[in-house]
Structure 1
């Protein structure tokens, strides 16, 4: 990168001398190149390629005094030959991944300025350069340069074996002997080695199969591999070997048996030996027989067919993806929202689910596609997933029920296995139903993994694979094969990892037992996938007709559980609202009176309001109240917005029922019904609280003339009947109604003004005074009924009097005159 930038800078400098007018453009372009270098200049390898990336910080620890031999490539990311060689080097890393205890691969980008001193220190002058560093190399070692290295994986593999065999002491501790063995060593082998299986590979002298298989089994225990040449006649005769190459299992006591494989080749030997009983990866627990445990809190083991796909795994994957993984994103916006729309669209098109599940997926997809904004809340999406609208025959079972993806431990397999299975099914369904876009499912998977998949390093590895070769997919068949091949690449990278289940080792799938026709070999003996046979196998294995419905919960049960859940949620909401309402009521009842200055202001407003009412009543009777109001300005107090409607209603009710205005008393307002509407709860309780606070005091009113010196109650009867008036609907007076002298003086002034209006019509005031006294606590209807009853009783008494008078006359004895 430094060299190319130097040339570019030199070229720009020359242009600047010739075209001074391009200074600004050239400077901007140079800054852009420095800030945003091309992707190729970031390096040709990543951590997902199983290649150690050398830097000035780790180069000494990796290459010097290492327990393993290191093959290192020195390259420049701008070099065309290096770019062409990088896929081959990556394939080599995957091919000899199991050799890591003895041999490992590394690479360093010499085009990066930070690595220039590293490459100079090892004497690198051209690219690409491969150097071999033996185990326990000295600090001054420059490595063994490999001249004319082959440009194929098989040749590179053999080159490494040849150099490794010339390794001087000390020998890499993890590497077994690669030289041919003898009969004497075989006969005494079990005396010095504690293994269960000894594999003898008979081959010709120029063959590399025995040494390759020996290195392939480095990471496995309870098995050892030895190479036997055909020139070892005694051992060949004893085991009756007739074919080269061939593999025999040798046991203590001289017992032996031939290892049965489809093709006598390295890949088939390696796979068969790794699956022998008791053979386990180093550091891994042996496979356990999982049995049904009814007393275990974890899910009991579900027996299943390893050669079939289960719908329970697919529905469990949907549940975890939509209800758990997406729930981590409270707000889904931008690119993540686009990814979610692609994901749901693909599910709606190609997921081979049950009707209730498909109805839910369609509902969710329709809702998402109609969202025109740049973001959505997950809570809104969750309502769709839970079918809050209770659409008929629409539900996604909650919870997980793993079958084919279950692991021997709760943290193994499960959801990652389900994700791979789901997308395999979708690519196959797109092929079977005749999709139009070859990359539709792959793009949806790529964007979902990039935006939502919880394992971020895993998402980065998948993105690297997709960026590398997904654009080469141009048919629906190639999409199926691309996803399958990348899944095998991930299996290769994770084989032996802590996430590997010992009961389900990560292999190159499908195995020779599952699909013998899928495996073949090249002319040089290397393994090759028979894609013409792999594609039909995948189309059949992941087709909708091959998916088993065992362990699925019945649709009626799913819908019933959904209804019960909604009922519980509704009850919980109602209980919460009821509790909040009760809490507000209790809070309002315990609220203390308002401060004195607020009470004073409200009392003044109320006094002015009652004066206005009195003037209105006078206007109705004589029309002179308006004139009096005009004379003093007609100023009234405006009620607060929330209290004004109640005041107006109170006035209307008072005029309609003809309630009298009693001195020192105020009629009790009728109780209001509580309206149980959430939208009016706050206004209602606020109005109630303010009304109770405003009416907490009962004020004494006296109407007096201006010349009177002391306020004397006009109606003594009204004051004497206070206790009795409380029985007919009046509010009792509180004990703390006394106000300060200043407040009383203000109120007396207002009452003097009010007294003027009554003096202008003395007769009307006198009559109103007596009528008020006679109709204390009674309405017009009550008085009318009393009069009617009085008249009826009088008529009844008169009738009875006349009746008995006539009877008395009839019974009076007649005196006969003589």
Structure 2
């Protein structure tokens, strides 16, 4: 295995002395081989790396007869050299991403069982092996191997350019000419090409900058790039070129101007040329003007400063994250709950928002940390998020208002931009506040994106980046730089995608115009980032004191809107409860339509009298209320309203008191036997249910029937619900005068309910026409019962009269017999 790893990098010739260095190398290969043997089917590259994965099913269709040249790496996932080379190959893919129409990158894992036959067909005997497939190749044998290829991006990039220049016919149709341009070609260029800008890069014969920039601008329209050697004296003298390399913009009629850049290097040229007026990506419309955007987007365009962060974007991100994205999860449990706790904890610590927002985040975090169960419902979380407890100066603005993250179209940028901005701010705040955990913010972001981020493919890409290198972060500064570098990696991958906003192209940020000191070049004029300057720029750009508060609502407006929202929600809940109560009452109304109609008429009349009365009252009457009804002071005036009367209702109450009938107090209702189904028991049961229902109704006030001037004590009777099945009569059971003294508090409450029931029955009888004399008996008797009672009393009277006459006559006859001699 060690020899196979070494075959692609060095050849053994003759006897070699084994040194400790060789032993360490072989040991490393062995360790990597054992570690990655189990992952042979997984491979070293993922979809996030912009490298085409080759399989037996697609290898021929991708490599043969392709319109683009393809560079392929054949590797084994267990090989240590392959593992070490994989970051370079990934960086190469990102570096030449714009060259894709002319040349693309692919890879095949020969350690996978399904790929071994294809690797043998390509003649692969050692790993890693790189082969260059020309465009329109007809046979796999036509591929050319890179022997002794360099292990750096710059060297590989130059190798690819050399192969492209030596490309045989047919030439890749998307590849521009890479040979040096002549003065005659430049003079006639605009006659045969319809472009707006022509960039001439003057350089030496061994320089690759001109060809690299030409391929970098391959996917852009309205611009062409040509390489001019310093030996082309006619053009050099005409444009007065004195520095090599240098770039000039050439226009029809011989007009020209020098392209001003900070450093004469490839990346600076590419940045500047892509930003010229009219230069757009191929197949994409040009950036639309602000006036047009105002008419095509849902909201008016908000002018903003591109070099600043806006608090409106951060609060909009919180709204969408906590109210929209989390709402997709009805129940949050397990690892998702842990992710949510980490996310809210980081927000409560480092979010540099307004006081009302930070108060809310702390309140939500405190509630979450106190949840000891394995799951929570989103409804419970939302109650805390909406500040249902109404803590003062605590609110999160509702809705989104994008400013720095707004897009030229409603579906561009916005929330993804806000998420990146939010976590950049949090990492910088953790750095400025001196957090003790360098991975605290990044871990919270990783878990939140994995558990809740709506774009599942985006979440997978981010997880791939995190699993690859997140553990290498060991300081707060490296955490800030890690997130910045991964953001640039995502920008590189999405550049040119349909999700890219043409008005905000995805570039490697910050641009040289925004931070010139962040960009430097090596001695070989290769671009590199100055990490110290980048860190300083990020800490300044995302610092809390530079965040703009434009376009934000005032805190008082936010709090008032929250109160209005809570009031409307409360009304909706009450309406729902009312509807549910109506649904429960529906069966009774269908079974007894006439009784329900009487109740409705009673309710409507009571609404007219009690308009403006408050909501439902409790059924139970406390001891204090009972004592207040009985123990009124003797010097109180009789006309003074009782404690439950409303102001302005004394006159109406007095009118009712004028014809109120005395009710039977203290009736005990026995439970009805289930096997009694005759009409009388059914009617009594219905009246019992209706009385209890009206006692619990929201429109019924708790009242006491006791008067301030108590009448003379008289015996009381209890009403038993054990009805005579033949006559439907109820038995009255005597109750002692000290009944209330002997029974408990629960019995007194039931007594109060029966009093309310009696009062309602009396009121219903009073409102009926032609039946006022029935009010004394309307405690549970129907008209049939009363008629039957009258008939029985009449028959009883007739029977008694008959018996009286019979015995009187018989007595006279006996007296007469005794008187005879």
TM-score by length of 2: 0.71
Q: 1:729 aligns with which of 760, 777, 788?
A: 777
2:728 is the counterpart of 1:674? no
The residue number in structure 2 matching 1:551 is: 551
For 2:224 and 2:772, the matched residues in 1 are separated by 112
Contact 2:724-2:730 within 8 A present in 1 as well:
no
What pairs up with 1:139-158 in 2 under 5 angstroms? 139-158=139-158
Contact 2:64-2:137 within 8 A present in 1 as well:
yes
What pairs up with 1:397-436 in 2 under 5 angstroms? 397-436=397-436
What pairs up with 1:166-245 in 2 under 5 angstroms? 166-245=166-245
* CA shift for structure 1 position 729: 2.2
The residue number in structure 2 matching 1:612 is: none
The residue number in structure 1 matching 2:727 is: 699
SS of corresponding position for 2:353: coil
For 2:771 and 2:562, the matched residues in 1 are separated by 61
2:505 is the counterpart of 1:505? yes
The residue number in structure 2 matching 1:585 is: 585
Given the superposition, is the C-alpha separation of residues 652 and 575 from structure 1 closer, same or farther in structure 2, using an over 3 Å criterion?
closer
* CA shift for structure 1 position 480: 0.5
Contact 1:698-1:737 within 8 A present in 2 as well:
no
The residue number in structure 2 matching 1:635 is: none
For 2:258 and 2:519, the matched residues in 1 are separated by 21
For 2:297 and 2:67, the matched residues in 1 are separated by 45
SS of corresponding position for 1:42: coil
SS of corresponding position for 1:582: helix
Given the superposition, is the C-alpha separation of residues 737 and 289 from structure 1 closer, same or farther in structure 2, using an over 3 Å criterion?
same
Contact 1:70-1:104 within 8 A present in 2 as well:
yes
Contact 2:728-2:785 within 8 A present in 1 as well:
no
* CA shift for structure 1 position 523: 1.1
For 1:729 and 1:318, the matched residues in 2 are separated by 67
Given the superposition, is the C-alpha separation of residues 295 and 289 from structure 1 closer, same or farther in structure 2, using an over 3 Å criterion?
closer
Contact 1:292-1:302 within 8 A present in 2 as well:
no
The residue number in structure 1 matching 2:572 is: 572
* CA shift for structure 1 position 695: 9.2
The residue number in structure 1 matching 2:263 is: 263
* CA shift for structure 1 position 583: 3.8
For 2:201 and 2:177, the matched residues in 1 are separated by 14
Contact 2:39-2:77 within 8 A present in 1 as well:
no
2:520 is the counterpart of 1:536? no
SS of corresponding position for 2:570: helix
For 1:652 and 1:334, the matched residues in 2 are separated by 53
Structure 2: gaps of 5 or more residues: 5-32, 594-663, 671-679, 701-718, 732-769, 804-821
The residue number in structure 2 matching 1:366 is: 366
SS of corresponding position for 1:225: strand
* CA shift for structure 1 position 733: 4.7
For 1:142 and 1:386, the matched residues in 2 are separated by 67
Which digits, 9 at most, give the CA deviation of each residue in 1:563-593, with x for residues without a partner? 1111111112222222332343343132269
Contact 2:314-2:418 within 8 A present in 1 as well:
yes
Contact 2:294-2:301 within 8 A present in 1 as well:
no
The residue number in structure 2 matching 1:452 is: 452
Contact 2:723-2:729 within 8 A present in 1 as well:
no
* CA shift for structure 1 position 292: 8.2
For 1:314 and 1:56, the matched residues in 2 are separated by 48
SS of corresponding position for 2:520: strand
Contact 1:723-1:732 within 8 A present in 2 as well:
no
Given the superposition, is the C-alpha separation of residues 562 and 244 from structure 1 closer, same or farther in structure 2, using an over 3 Å criterion?
same
Which digits, 9 at most, give the CA deviation of each residue in 1:507-542, with x for residues without a partner? 000011111111110111111101111111100100
* CA shift for structure 1 position 671: 5.0
For 1:481 and 1:696, the matched residues in 2 are separated by 91
Q: 1:650 aligns with which of 663, 667, 672?
A: 667
The residue number in structure 2 matching 1:560 is: 560
Given the superposition, is the C-alpha separation of residues 150 and 567 from structure 1 closer, same or farther in structure 2, using an over 3 Å criterion?
same
* CA shift for structure 1 position 145: 1.0
Given the superposition, is the C-alpha separation of residues 38 and 701 from structure 1 closer, same or farther in structure 2, using an over 3 Å criterion?
same
* CA shift for structure 1 position 290: 1.5
Given the superposition, is the C-alpha separation of residues 234 and 325 from structure 1 closer, same or farther in structure 2, using an over 3 Å criterion?
same
Contact 1:71-1:104 within 8 A present in 2 as well:
yes
Contact 2:408-2:501 within 8 A present in 1 as well:
yes
Given the superposition, is the C-alpha separation of residues 295 and 78 from structure 1 closer, same or farther in structure 2, using an over 3 Å criterion?
closer
For 1:465 and 1:405, the matched residues in 2 are separated by 24
2:53 is the counterpart of 1:53? yes
The residue number in structure 2 matching 1:767 is: none
2:464 is the counterpart of 1:464? yes
SS of corresponding position for 2:553: coil
Given the superposition, is the C-alpha separation of residues 42 and 582 from structure 1 closer, same or farther in structure 2, using an over 3 Å criterion?
closer
> Based on CA coordinates, which of the two structures has the bigger radius of gyration?
1
For 1:525 and 1:37, the matched residues in 2 are separated by 40
Given the superposition, is the C-alpha separation of residues 356 and 724 from structure 1 closer, same or farther in structure 2, using an over 3 Å criterion?
closer
For 2:320 and 2:97, the matched residues in 1 are separated by 33
The count of corresponding residues between Structure 1 and Structure 2 is: 622
What pairs up with 1:751-770 in 2 under 5 angstroms? none
For 2:117 and 2:514, the matched residues in 1 are separated by 52
The two structures, once aligned, show a CA RMSD in angstroms of 3.5
Given the superposition, is the C-alpha separation of residues 699 and 581 from structure 1 closer, same or farther in structure 2, using an over 3 Å criterion?
farther
What pairs up with 1:321-340 in 2 under 5 angstroms? 321-340=321-340
Given the superposition, is the C-alpha separation of residues 133 and 736 from structure 1 closer, same or farther in structure 2, using an over 3 Å criterion?
farther
For 2:85 and 2:504, the matched residues in 1 are separated by 34
Which digits, 9 at most, give the CA deviation of each residue in 1:212-259, with x for residues without a partner? 010001000000011111111111111110011000010000101000
Given the superposition, is the C-alpha separation of residues 374 and 422 from structure 1 closer, same or farther in structure 2, using an over 3 Å criterion?
same
2:351 is the counterpart of 1:344? no
What pairs up with 1:379-394 in 2 under 5 angstroms? 379-394=379-394
Which digits, 9 at most, give the CA deviation of each residue in 1:610-642, with x for residues without a partner? xxxxxxxxxxxxxxxxxxxxxxxxxxxxxxxxx
Given the superposition, is the C-alpha separation of residues 677 and 341 from structure 1 closer, same or farther in structure 2, using an over 3 Å criterion?
farther
Contact 2:331-2:375 within 8 A present in 1 as well:
yes
SS of corresponding position for 2:160: helix
TM-score by length of 1: 0.71
Which digits, 9 at most, give the CA deviation of each residue in 1:151-172, with x for residues without a partner? 1110000001111111110000
Contact 2:722-2:730 within 8 A present in 1 as well:
no
SS of corresponding position for 2:247: strand
For 2:244 and 2:61, the matched residues in 1 are separated by 42
The residue number in structure 1 matching 2:161 is: 161
Contact 1:491-1:507 within 8 A present in 2 as well:
yes
Given the superposition, is the C-alpha separation of residues 308 and 727 from structure 1 closer, same or farther in structure 2, using an over 3 Å criterion?
closer
The residue number in structure 1 matching 2:43 is: 43
Given the superposition, is the C-alpha separation of residues 700 and 125 from structure 1 closer, same or farther in structure 2, using an over 3 Å criterion?
closer
Contact 1:220-1:282 within 8 A present in 2 as well:
yes
For 1:324 and 1:729, the matched residues in 2 are separated by 62
Which digits, 9 at most, give the CA deviation of each residue in 1:701-730, with x for residues without a partner? 699xxxxxxxxxxxxxxxxxx999635325
The residue number in structure 2 matching 1:285 is: 285
Contact 1:698-1:733 within 8 A present in 2 as well:
no
* CA shift for structure 1 position 297: 7.2
For 2:293 and 2:783, the matched residues in 1 are separated by 75
For 1:66 and 1:592, the matched residues in 2 are separated by 83
For 2:505 and 2:724, the matched residues in 1 are separated by 81
The residue number in structure 2 matching 1:489 is: 489
SS of corresponding position for 1:228: strand
Which digits, 9 at most, give the CA deviation of each residue in 1:134-156, with x for residues without a partner? 00000353511111101111000
2:458 is the counterpart of 1:438? no
Given the superposition, is the C-alpha separation of residues 736 and 672 from structure 1 closer, same or farther in structure 2, using an over 3 Å criterion?
closer
